[in-house]
Amino acid sequence: MKINLKVWRQKNGNAAGKLVDYKLDNISPDMSFLEMFDVLNDELMHKGEEPVAFDHDCREGICGMCSMYINGRAHGPQTGATTCQLHMRSFADGDTIIVEPWRARAFPVIKDLMVDRSAFDRVVQSGGYVSVNTGSARDANETLIPRTIADEAMDAAQCIGCGACVAACKNASAMLFVAAKVSHLAVLPQGQAEASIRAERMVAQMDAEGFGACSFTGACSVECPKSISLDHIARLNREYLGAKITSEAV
Amino acid sequence: MSWVTQTLASSLGRKVIMSLTGLFLCTFLIVHVAGNLQLFKADGGRAFNEYSYFMTHNPVIMTVSYLLYTSIVVHALMALILTRHNQASRPVKYAYQRPEANSPWSSRNMGILGTVLLIFIVIHMRTFWYTMHFGPIPMAEYDGKEYKDLYKIVLEAFSNWWYVLFYVIAMGALGYHMVHGFKSGFQTLGLRHKKYTPLIEFLGVYVFSMLIPALFAAMPVYFFLKHVGVIG
């Protein structure tokens, strides 16, 4: 396959960036999108040019590191998949593909296609945990949880923190991420005790990081590699408003 | 009370203000369309003028009307604050975007639709509300009692083709605003459940975005067609 790429190149967070054209001739349709970038970087290095910086780790859709905004969509044209799970067969021979980094005030560009997603870490640090020791994996099996509840928690816990929700949202809102983190603990007995304070703290941190508000467009859920439902955002709203009315923090 | 201001200043709190004012305005739409259906009564405007008198003199209605004006202002101002905040959340825009692949047009353009509606409300209130309260307005007499003849003002306003067209366009904007706004108001409050969300979505689409705007739009169209003599 022949592929024309327009890739965002930016030396660092302070430098101005721009889209740069690259042409690739020998791309196999069986390559993953990231392997195509490996080929590009190999060519660039042989020419003595700076390779394109991009995030990646597991390359099997579970780590949440890959983060490209491809042809106007987070993680490209597929739904329910990360960039590493996208293959070149999803494109046609001779296609032009525009690749940009996630765009959000809370996700500043580090270099090229890499962005700093530590805002998510700080949101989780603010309350996305259970503060007492709930034991080891074996102890978890001692607390029996009905299947439907466990499934609900797991649906939310699937969030890999990739930031596609923020990237896809017109407001760069992190509501789906925060909702997933609040939800998966709120429905389980170990997490319920701190559900109120968790919702309050995580929303406060989300706002402090500079994410936008939720317009309920649903773009986040469509672009989420784990297809996390908007039901969780409704639960976050419930948890937060309930917490504000009932919590001890005056 | 710091927790109250803190809650209302948070992104979720601001959306709650949007939701509560918006849903209150939705209930107003029902009253407004139901009352104005009396315009279609073939009695030379008597029912409508008596209704107008009631609406401008009943103390309960008058109190609620101030709540209504406040809601419109708060809804618009909060929308402005949220829009600015949301735009600031993405200082560098994407070079290429395909939002149509993941979200409906109306959900992404509530601000534009709302702006059309705000302009409409200002013009609408200038034509009818202002004239009703501050005149000049002709009078009509029923059973020896004088009434302000708002019906005549309606007839005059809707004899203008561009004024009628503006109303129809504004009601189109209302429909699109409602198709996203009504259900979103409940989502913001966390009211989302398989028991009642289908009903909310049904009401949002068929009643608030189709039936009510269509009935409103039918009023100027009806009087214009009467004016040009297409209907009697």
Whether B11 and A207 lie within 8 Å, measured CB to CB: yes
* Dist CA B12 CA B67 (whole Å): 22
Mean pLDDT of the B181-201 span: 96
Band (pLDDT 50/70/90 cuts) for residue B1 is: low
Considering only the top CATH level, what class is A3-111? alpha beta
Q: Counting runs of H as helices and runs of E as strands, what totals does chain B give?
A: 11, 2
Give the pLDDT confidence score for residue B2 in this predicted structure.
Answer: 83
Domain that holds residue B210: 11-84+106-228
Give the pLDDT confidence score for residue A142 in this predicted structure.
Answer: 87
Considering only the top CATH level, what class is A117-246? mainly alpha
Handedness of CA B171, B173, B176, B180 (dihedral sign): negative
Q: Is A133 exposed, middle or buried (0-12, 13-18, 19+ CB in 10 A)?
A: exposed
pLDDT in tens for each of the 250 residues of chain A? 999 999 999 999 999 999 999 999 999 999 999 999 999 999 999 999 999 999 999 999 999 999 999 999 999 999 999 999 999 999 999 999 999 999 999 999 999 999 999 999 999 999 999 999 988 888 888 889 999 999 999 999 999 999 999 999 999 999 999 999 999 999 999 999 999 999 999 999 999 999 999 999 999 999 999 999 999 999 999 999 999 998 877 7
Domain count for chain B, please give it.
Answer: 1
In this complex, the residue of A211, A219, A239 whose CB is nearest that of residue B103 is: A219
Whether A210 and B92 lie within 8 Å, measured CB to CB: no
Residue B27 lies in a domain: yes
Mean pLDDT of the B214-223 span: 97
| Whole-number average pLDDT of chain B | 95
Q: What is the pLDDT of residues B107-145, one digit of tens each?
A: 999 999 999 999 999 999 999 999 999 989 999 999 999
In this complex, the residue of A19, A71, A207 whose CB is nearest that of residue B10 is: A207
The shortest C-alpha distance from A216 to chain B (Å) reads: 6
Mean pLDDT of the B87-95 span: 97
Chain-centroid distance, C-alpha A93: 29
Please name the residue of chain A whose CA is at the shortest distance from the CA of residue B93: A103
Chain-centroid distance, C-alpha B197: 23
Residue B42 lies in a domain: yes
Mean pLDDT of the B12-35 span: 97
Task: Give the residue extent of every domain in chain A.
Answer: 3-111, 117-246
Please name the residue of chain A whose CA is at the shortest distance from the CA of residue B14: A213
Whether B101 and A207 lie within 8 Å, measured CB to CB: no
Give the pLDDT confidence score for residue B229 in this predicted structure.
Answer: 87
Residue B144 lies in a domain: yes
From the list B198, B110, B187, B231, the residue with the least C-alpha distance to A232 is B187
Is the model's pLDDT at B232 over the cut of 80? no
Per the CB < 8 A criterion, the answer to whether A202 and A178 are in contact is yes
Which two three-digit tokens encode residue B52? 């107008």
Residue B192 lies in a domain: yes
Residue B99 lies in a domain: no
Residue B159 lies in a domain: yes
The shortest C-alpha distance from A111 to chain B (Å) reads: 15
State the number of CA atoms in the 13 A half-sphere of B51 facing the CB: 15
Which two three-digit tokens encode residue B79? 């929308």
A206 touching B, CB under 8 A?
Answer: yes
SS3 call for B192:
coil
Contacts of B88 in chain A (CB under 8 A): 105, 210
What residues have CB less than 8 Å from B215, skipping those under 6 apart? B33, B37
Please name the residue of chain A whose CA is at the shortest distance from the CA of residue B90: A104
Give the pLDDT confidence score for residue A77 in this predicted structure.
Answer: 96
Is the model's pLDDT at B63 over the cut of 70? yes
Residue B140 lies in a domain: yes
Whether B101 and A72 lie within 8 Å, measured CB to CB: yes
| DSSP states of chain A | --EEEEEEE-SSSSS--EEEEEEE----TTSBHHHHHHHHHHHHHHTTPPPPP---SSSSSSS-----EETTEETSS-SS--GGG-BGGGS-TT-EEEEE---BTTB-EEETTEE--HHHHHHHHTT-S-SS----HHHHTTS---HHHHHHHHHHHT-----HHHHHSTT-B-HHHHHHHHHHHHTSHHHHTTHHHHHHHHHHHHHHTT-B------HHHHH-TT---THHHHHHHHHHHHHHHH-S--
Which two three-digit tokens encode residue A150? 């466990």
